[in-house]
Structure 1
C-alpha cells in the first residue's frame, strides 16, 4: 500500500505555475499601458499636424488681409483725390491701421522663422513707403487741388511700391506653401508607416489569438484525457475495492472509518455504510486508547513501525470472533495521511494449523514413544543383558538399532523444522562462550568421528568470545555441521573447526577434506530434505540438518553460507552478532575479577561461571600472589578462599583493608569452612561469604554487587578511539589508574556520557562519524565545570583547541607512559579539588 501511495503521489497533478500566471498578469497590463501610451503619442502627433495646418492657414489669411488692407487704403486715397470728399479719409485711416495690424500678426506668426522675418522687415519698409506716398498725395490734394494730386498719382510710384508689396507677400505664401507641403508629406509618410504597423500588429495579434486558441484547445483536450483516465482509474479502484475478497477499511487521522468495502461488511456483519465514522481501532482491536491515532499505530517518519498485525481477532455483529491477519498501509492524500487496513480471514488456516498440531502431537506421542522403547530394547539385546547373541543376530540388532535411531532423528528434525516454521520454537538468550560451545560439540562428535577414524581439530583465535543465544540450539547447529563434515570425510581425514572475530561478529567455520558440494546441488543445499552424495554418505542423514541450522542461525540474527575449503573439501561458515557493550561491563571494558583458589578444579568452576557472565578472570593459588595482584588496581572484584597453602585467607583480607590502595577493593569470600562468627562478613567488610559447594546464582549476584561497588569507588576513565587495538593496549597500560570505559564513535560516546560521568576523558580527534572535538561541549560536570580531558591523537591540534583541554599528547611509542603520568597528575588534582 505504501508503494502504491508513493506512485500516486508521484503521478498526482502538479499545481498551476505561479510564475507563468504572474508573468501573464504583469505583461498583459504592461502591454495595454504601452499601447495606450502609443495611441496617446499618435493623437498628439495628429494634434500637432492639425495645429501646423491651422497656423499655415492663419499665415496666408493674414497676408491676404494685409494686401486687402493696402488695396482698401489705395482705393480710399483715390476716392478722396478724385472727389475731395473727406469721408474717404476715414476709410483710409481704418485700412492703414488694418494693414499695420496684419503686418504685426504676421511677425508673431513667423517669429520662429528668421527668413520670413527678413521678408517681413522688407515688407514693412515697403508698406511704410506706400502709406507715405499715399499720405503725400492726400496732402497735395488738400493744398494744391485735384490736378496736382492726380499728376502725382499718374507718375506710377505707388503702382511700383504696390507691385513690390505683392511680390513679397506672394514669396511669403509660396514659402509657406512649400513648408506646408513638406510637413504634410512627412505626416503622410508617418501615417503610412503607422498604418503598416497597425496592420502588422493586427496580423500578429490574429496569429497570437490563433496560437492561444490552439493552446487552449490542447489544454482542454489534455484535461479531458486526464479526467477520462482519472475517471477510469477511479472506476477500476472502486471495482477493485468492492470486489476484493479481503476486507478493506480506510481510516482517517482520527482513526475513524472513512471507507469500507463489501467484504468488510460481510466479515463484520454490517452494511458498508454502517461502518462509516466508527472507531477503527476499536473494531480492529489494535492501538486502542487515547492520544494521537497515528502515534498509537506506530506511524513515524512516514512509515509504520509494525505494518503487519498477525493472529488477531475481530468481533462479528452477532458476537462471535473471527481470526484475522491485518496488513496496514498508507494512503497519502494532500495535507493528510490515511491508513488502509486489509483484513484477511484466516479461519481455514487456523483449522489447518489445528489439524497439523494434532498430527504433530500424534507423531510425537505415537511414534517417538514406541521408537524409544524399540531403541532401548535393541540396546539391551545388543549389550547381552538377556543373554549373548550370535554374531549374525548381533549384527542384525545393530542395524535395527541404528535405523531406529535414524528414524528418531528424522522425527525430531521434522518436529524442529515445523516449530521453526510456525514460529513456536522457543529460544533462550543467555551469554555463552562460543569457544566452549565448540569444545563441547567436538567432544560430543568424537564417537561418530572415531567410526571413520576422522580427526577433529579446533582453532580458536580468541577465548572467551561471548555471544547472546540459545546454547542448546547453537550446539545443535555446530553438531549438525560437524556430523555432515565427518560423514563426507574420507577415512583418516581431518575436520577442522575455527573461531574468529570479524568486526562485530563471531565467525565459526567447519571444513572437511571430502569431495565438496556438487555444483548442481548448491542452489538448494539449505532446502528441506535436500541431500547430495552417494548412498553411503546419505544413509546417516535426514536432509533436514542444514535447513534447521539455517533457521536457527537466522533466528539469532546471524548468517550461514558455504564455500570451498583450501584442500578441496566443503567449508560451512556461520556468523553470530556479538552483543553491544553493556554499561554493567564498562561499555566494552569487561569486569576483571581476581580469584584466589588453591584447588585448580574449584578455580576452573568459578572461572567458567564468571566468564559466562562476561567477566575476565585471573586465577592465583597463594596469598602472596593474591596480594601482589590486588595491589595493581586492575580488578573490579576479588574472590578469595580462606584455606590457602601459605596463609589464612582472612589475613589477606585484613592486610588489603589496611592499605590505602586496596582498602575499597570489593571482596567475596568462598570457603568450605563455615564462618564461626555470624558477623564475620560485616567485620571484614566483604561483599558476601559463600560456603562451598558454591551456589552459582548467589555468586553471580555477589559479583554484580562487587562490580557496582567498584564502579562507585574507582576513578572512571573514558577512552574514545576507533582503533580497537589501541583501546585494548591503553586499557591494559592504565588498568591501575581506574575503571576504563570505551567508545569508538561520537554517537556511542554521547550515549555513554548520558549514562554516567567519567572522571577523565581520553579523546582521539579522528573518529568514523565525525571529529572528536565535537564532544568538547558535552564534557561537562553537573555544576557546569569541564571534565579533565586529554587529547590523545596521531595528529597535533590547533593552539585554540589546546586551550580548551588539559593536555595534548601525540601518539607514539613513548606516549603511553606520558599518558599514564598525565592521568595520575589529573587524578591527583581532582582528588585535591574534591578534598577542598
Structure 2
C-alpha cells in the first residue's frame, strides 16, 4: 500500500456540451410551441366549421319554413274561396306577413352571397305576384261570388307562380346543401390529416425514445469500459509508483509531502508514514526558505524553470550522505497543481565515474609519457642529431613521427570530450587579442601545411580585436579548424582565415579549396566521431575535433557553423561576443560600483583602477555597510573582499543573494587566499573571482561584464525631454530605480524604441519636432499592450489625454520625489502582474 496515495476517482465526467444544451433547450420549446399553435389553429378551424354548419342548417330551415308558410297561405286562400269563411281570410293575412318575415330573414342570412341574393330577389318578385294574385281571387270571391273567383283561379296563373317560388326555394336549398357537403368533406379531410399527423408524431416519439434509450445504454456501456480502464490504469500506476527503485514524492503547493513510495526506506532509512505531511526541503535539501514553495522551486508560467537538480546530496537517517539526481515535474489536478519529485541514487554512477576518471588518468599518463619520448626521439632522428639518415630511413621516421603525433592528438581529444561530457572542462577567462591568437594557430599549423604545400593566409580588418575567453581553448578551436582545412585542401591549395568585426561579435571564417562538405554529412558534422565518406583516409582525424570545437565556442557564448566557400570548398565559421566597450550604462551615465574592502590602501587602489576606467566608486569597510548600500539599488555592481574584519565576504555575498532586491546584483569577489572552491563560486553566481594582487585589466573586464548584466536585469526608463539639464537632474534622481535612456526629440525617441522596449516612459509634451503626444501610438510592447507612461511636463493636458496615460505630473506643481514615487508604484504594479 502506498502511504498518502488515495484511490483515484472511478470516473472523470466529460464537460457538458454547451452547443448541444442550447440546441435542445431552444429547439425543443420551439417545436412544442409550433405544435401548440398548429393544434390551436386546427381547433379554431373546427369551431368555424361547426358555426358554418349551424348557419347552413339555419338557412335551410328558414327556406323550408318560408316555403311551408307560402303553402299554408295558398291553402288558406283556397279555404276562403270555397267557404268564404273569414277565418281562412285571417289565416291568409297572417301567412302573408309570415312570408314577408321569412324573405327578410333569408335576405339577412345570405347577405354577401351574390348568387343567392339574386335568387331571393326573384323569389320576392314571384311571392309578391303570388300574393297579388291570391288577393285578387279573394276580392272576387268577396264581391262577385264563388263562381267568379273559381273562373279567375282556373287560368292556373297562381299555380305557375307557386311552382316558380318552390323552384327558387329548392335552388337556394340545393346550393346551400352542396356548399355544406363540400365543407363537411373539407372538415373530414382535416380530421384525417390530424389523425395522420398524430400517428406520425407518435411513431417519431417512439423512435426518438428508442434512440434515447439506445444512447443511454451505450453511454452506460462506455462508462463501464472507462471505469474498468481507469481502475486498471490506476492500479498500474500504483504498482509502478510502489515498485520503482527511485524515490517518488508528491508535494502540494506548500511543499508538504502528500505521498511517497516505499523506496524511501532504502534511500533515506525512513518509513513512508514518517514523511507524510513533512516539508520536502527537510529531506531533499532544495527550495529552502520562507517564500511560497512554487516560487522557491521556480514555477513560472505553468513550467518548472529548472526541472533537473543534478549532483545533489541527501542525508540518510544514519547520517551518511547519498549522492542523488532530483527531477521535478508538475501534476495538475482539479483542486491544485502538485509537484512530483523523482530522487535517483547515483552512488553507483559516481563510483563508475571515479573508476573511469582513474582509468582515463592512468591511460593518458601511461600513453602520453612514452609517446612524448617516442615523438621526441623521432624528431631528433629526423633532424639528424645522430647523423644524417638515408632518404628511405628519413621517410620512415617521418611516418612514425606523424602517426605518433596522431596518437597524442587522439588521447587529448578523448580526454577533452570526456571532460566536456562530465562538465569538468575548466575555462580561464581573460581578455585576449583574437588576431594574435589566430597568428599563433597559423604558426603551429605551418608544418602540416608545408607537408602538403598549402598556403595559409590571414586577413583581419583591424587589430587588435579583443574578446574575453580562454586563450588555450580558443587556440585549440582555431588549430582544429585549420588542421581540418589543411588536410582536405589539395596540394598547392590555399587556406584563407578572415576576421571581421560586427556590431556585437567577431566572426572568424576559415575557407579551403577542397571538395567541400558532402550533403549527407552536413546534419552530423558536429557530432562526435563523425567523419565524411573517405574522411579518415584523407585527414587521419578522430572525428572529435569539430565536436570539441562546438562545445568550446558554446562555452564562450558564441556560435559555430559551416557553409560553402566561394571556390567550392568548405567554409567553417565561429563567432565570439564582443565585451562591453567601456564601463558606462546604455543611457550614457557613468556606472556606479560599490567596493567593500577593509584595508584603506587596497580600497584606494581599487578606486583608482575603477575611476580610471570611468566608473563612479563608493567604498565601505564592513559587510553590514555593504548590505545596506547594496539594497539602495544605486549600484551596477559590487566588489567584495573575502577577508573582512570579524566576518567573511562570502557570507555577505550569500546574504545579498538571499534578498529579492539584490539577488541579481552582479558581484565580483577578490581574495588574497589561494583556496578557491569552484563549487562555492558557481553556487554564489559571482561574475569573477580575482586573486590578489589584482590584475587591473581582468578587473576592468569583469566590471564591464557586471555592468552588462546589470543593464539586462534592471528596469529601463526612457525620458523624453528637450531640456538637457532636466534630463541630467532626472537621471541622477532616478538612478536607483533603473537604467535611464534619453531622447530629446520625437525622432530620437523612436530610434530608442526601435532598439529596446522600456519598462516606463517619462514624456514631455513640448518637443522641438512636434508634440510628445504624437508618440503615444508608438508606446506599445511586442504583445500590443501599452507601455506605462508618465507625462511630466510644464504644460497641462486635457482630460481626454489623461485617460490614455498612467499618470500626469506638472513640472511647476510636482517635484522629483513625486515622480520617483509614481515610478515605484508602476514598477510594483508590473511586478505583481508578472507574478500572476
TM over 0.5: yes
The CA deviation at 1:547 is 2.7
Residue 94 of structure 2: which of 90, 97, 100 is its match? Answer: 97
CA contact under 8 A between 2:455 and 2:492: conserved in structure 1?
yes
Where 1:437 maps in the other structure, the secondary structure is helix
Q: CA offset at residue 560 of structure 1?
A: 3.1
Structure-2 residue corresponding to 1:758: 742
For residue 291 of structure 1, report the CA deviation from its aligned partner.
6.9
Q: CA RMSD in A?
A: 6.3
Aligned to 2:834: none
Residue among 344, 348, 358 paired with 1:346: 344
Spell out the pairing of 1:156-555 with structure 2 (5 A cutoff): 157=153, 163=159, 166-191=162-187, 193-194=189-190, 197-198=193-194, 201=197, 205=201, 208=204, 212=208, 216=212, 219=215, 223=219, 227=223, 230-231=226-227, 234=230, 237-238=233-234, 240-244=236-240, 245=244, 298-301=298-301, 303-311=303-311, 323-328=324-329, 338=337, 341=340, 343=342, 345-347=343-345, 349-361=346-358, 363-364=360-361, 368=365, 410-427=410-427, 432-443=432-443, 445=445, 456-485=456-485, 495-501=495-501, 505-512=505-512, 526-528=526-528, 544-555=544-555
Q: Which moved more, 1:476-485 or 1:371-380?
A: 371-380
The answer to whether the 8 A contact 1:488-1:537 is kept is: yes
Q: 1:118 to 1:455 in 2, by over 3 A?
A: closer
Cα drift, residue 419 of structure 1: 2.2
Q: Residues of 2 paired with 1:265 and 1:226: CA distance? A: 41
Q: Provide the C-alpha distance between the structure 1 equivalents of 2:285 and 2:248, rounded to a whole number of angstroms.
A: 15
Question: What is the CA-CA distance between 1:421 and the residue it aligns to?
Answer: 0.8
- State whether residues 529 and 542 of structure 1, in contact with CA within 8 Å, keep that contact through their aligned partners in structure 2: yes
Q: Alignment partner of 2:584: what SS? A: helix
Q: Is the 8 A contact 2:420 2:551 kept in 1?
A: yes
Measured against aligned partners, the alpha-carbon deviations of 1:270-291 in whole angstroms (never above 9, x if no partner) come to 9999999887788776656677
Contact 1:265 1:271 in 2 (8 A): yes
Asked if the contact 1:719–1:763 (Cα under 8 Å) also holds between the matched residues in 2, the reply is no
- Residue 54 of structure 1 deviates from its aligned partner by 1.9
Distance change (3 Å), C-alpha of 1:589 and 1:513? farther
Q: TM-score, normalised by structure 1?
A: 0.57
1:241–1:261 CA contact under 8 A, matched in 2: no
1:666-685 pair list within 5 angstroms: none
Larger radius of gyration: 1
Q: CA deviation at 1:116?
A: 0.6
1:546 deviates by: 3.0
Residues 310, 464 of structure 1: alpha-carbon distance in 2 compared, 3 angstrom cutoff:
same
Q: Deviations over 1:476-499 (max 9, x none)?
A: 211333344456668876543222
Q: Secondary structure at the match of 2:476?
A: helix
3-state SS of the aligned residue for 1:425?
Answer: coil
**Distance in 1 separating the partners of 2:368 and 2:131:** 160
Using the TM superposition, give the Cα deviation of residue 161 of structure 1 relative to its aligned residue in structure 2, in angstroms: 7.5
Aligned to 1:36: 39
In 1, the alpha carbon distance for the partners of 2:288 and 2:91 equals 119
SS at 2:180's partner residue?
A: helix
Deviation track 1:280-315 (CA, whole Å, cap 9, x = no partner) reads 788776656677766665555555544444445678
Q: 1:150 to 1:38 in 2, by over 3 A?
A: same
Paired position in structure 2 for 1:127: 131
Give, in whole Å, the separation in 2 of the partners of 1:196 and 1:439.
109
Within 2, Cα distance between the matches of 1:187 and 1:300?
Answer: 81
- Verify the 8 A CA contact 2:583 2:703 in the aligned structure 1: no
> Measured at CA, do residues 522 and 136 of structure 1 come closer, stay the same or move farther in structure 2, by a change above 3 Å?
closer
Residue 53 (structure 1) shift: 2.7
In 2: Cα distance, 1:307 partner to 1:26 partner? 55
Gaps of 5+ in 1: 1-8, 83-87, 141-147, 592-608, 616-692, 709-717, 721-736, 739-752, 792-799, 806-836
* Cα distance in structure 2, aligned partners of 1:445 and 1:150: 168
Asked if 2 retains the 8 angstrom alpha-carbon contact of 1:314 and 1:324, the reply is: no
Structure 2 distance, partners of 1:198, 1:229, is: 46
Aligned length: 628
Describe the shift of the 1:160–1:467 C-alpha distance in structure 2 as closer, same or farther (beyond 3 A). Answer: farther
Displacement after TM superposition at 1:208 (Å): 4.9
1:727-746 CA-partner distances (Å, limit 9, x unpaired): xxxxxxxxxx99xxxxxxxx
d(CA) in 2 for partners of 1:255, 1:75:
125
Residues in 1 aligned to 2:184 and 2:296: alpha-carbon distance in whole angstroms: 85
Distance 2:694 2:255 in 1: 58
Task: Say if 1:299 and 1:374 are closer, same or farther in 2 by CA, change over 3 A.
Answer: closer
In the superposition, relative to structure 1, how do residues 768 and 17 fare at CA in structure 2: closer, same or farther (>3 Å)? farther
Distance apart, 1:433 and its partner CA: 4.3
Does structure 1 retain, via aligned residues, the 8 Å contact 2:531–2:543?
yes
Measured against aligned partners, the alpha-carbon deviations of 1:166-197 in whole angstroms (never above 9, x if no partner) come to 43541343122221232024214423543564
Cα deviation, residue 473, structure 1: 2.3
Answer whether contact 1:314 1:322 (CA < 8 A) is retained. Answer: yes
1:60 to 54, 59, 63: 63
Give SS of 2:425's match: coil
* TM-score, structure 2 as length reference: 0.57
CA distance 1:118–1:522, shift in 2 (3 Å): closer
Deviation at residue 415 of structure 1 after TM alignment: 3.3
The CA distance in 1 between the partners of 2:291 and 2:157, in whole Å, is: 118
